[in-house]
Amino acid sequence: MQETTIAILGAGAWGIALADLATENSHRVRLWSRSGSTTLEAVLKDTQIVLSAISMKGVSDVASQVQAFPLSPETIFVTATKGLDPKTTCTPSQIWQTAFPHHPVVVLSGPNLSKEIQKSLPAATVVASHDTAAAELVQLVFSSPRFRVYTNSDPVGVELGGTLKNIMAIAAGVCDGLHLGTNAKAALVTRGLAEIIRIGNAWGAKPETFYGLSGLGDLLATCNSPLSRNYQVGYQMASGQTLTEILANLQGTAEGVNTCHVLMQRAKQQNITIPITEQVYRLLQGDVTPRQALEELMLRDIKPEYDY
């Protein structure tokens, strides 16, 4: 395909991994970070794609900064951030779409541990948008023999799958940290998926999206890999460390911690039952121990499996 100029906002491990994929496909890539020497204006000049790989806490501020610079009406925004805004409970794509209502916004999400991608290990992801042409263009930009990209027309479902699995990864880390075994882990992840689908239904997502790469795929990857920062939070809490100690020594951001707090607010407003998220929240708040959180889940009222 024709060479595309791409501005990648966020020079962390994920932003760099995506930059490498696009560069290998002979596209012109410009990286921007708050601590870098290149200005945002220079990075954005004449770009066809603006990809945001910044942490959730910086999305609103950076989106506002980008508004100050002229962009082509054809510019596509891609968001690769997984989280929820603490002030508005909005997803990253909703923030970008509000800032740029006349531009297509594409969500990129999947089982994509950046360290594995940087090692050129095979992976797959999903790009989702209401604008089919925009999603297909982004698909072409990042697809390669080692990185398979699928399209999807349910951006909110794709985005929520990648966001909510971080909470379940904390719970999975606790499960492994307590050495509870394979049966317990399988039950936790399966019921975690049911909880994610329940939330997705309330937010207008398609249930089938959560059985795809950005839902079940990302859930399996993040709940089973020590490379996941969210998994590490749960594992280390089960080993007796405090959340403050863990976050102080963690390389990068464990988005699940903030997501859990925001989701509790949203679930109360919409009256959504989220038992696993609730116990993770209580654990992060210091209200229960990892063992007590498990007992609370096991002692819930018995019910039919699909009565959710």
What are the pLDDT digits (tens) for 248-258?
999 889 999 99
> Helix, strand, or coil here: 59?
helix
The domain 5-153 belongs to what CATH superfamily?
A: NAD(P)-binding Rossmann-like Domain (3.40.50.720)
User: Exposure string (b/e) for 69-90, b if CB count within 10 Å is 16 or more?
Assistant: eebeeebbbbbbbbbbbeeeeb
Q: How many CB atoms lie within 10 A of CB 153?
A: 14
Domain-wise residue ranges, the chain:
5-153, 156-298
Q: In terms of C-beta density within 10 A (0-12 exposed, 13-18 middle, 19 or more buried), how is residue 241 classed?
A: middle
Tell me the pLDDT of the chain averaged across its residues: 95
Quote the pLDDT of residue 291.
Answer: 92
Percent of the chain with pLDDT over 90: 92
Judge whether residue 183 has pLDDT over 60: yes
What is the rounded distance in angstroms from the CA atom of residue 69 to the CA atom of residue 15? 21
Quote the pLDDT of residue 111.
Answer: 97
Judge whether residue 5 has pLDDT over 80: yes
What is the rounded distance in angstroms from the CA atom of residue 281 to the CA atom of residue 267? 12
Which amino acids are annotated catalytic?
165
Quote the pLDDT of residue 302.
Answer: 81
The CATH number of 156-298 is which of 3.40.50.360, 1.10.1040.10, 2.170.130.10, 3.40.50.720? Answer: 1.10.1040.10
- Write out pLDDT tens, residues 192-231: 999 999 999 999 999 999 999 999 999 999 999 999 999 9
- Write out pLDDT tens, residues 117-140: 999 999 999 999 999 999 999 999
Task: Look up tokens 């405090």; give the residue.
Answer: 242
Judge whether residue 165 has pLDDT over 80: yes
- Give the largest Cα separation in the chain, rounded: 59
Quote the pLDDT of residue 276.
Answer: 97
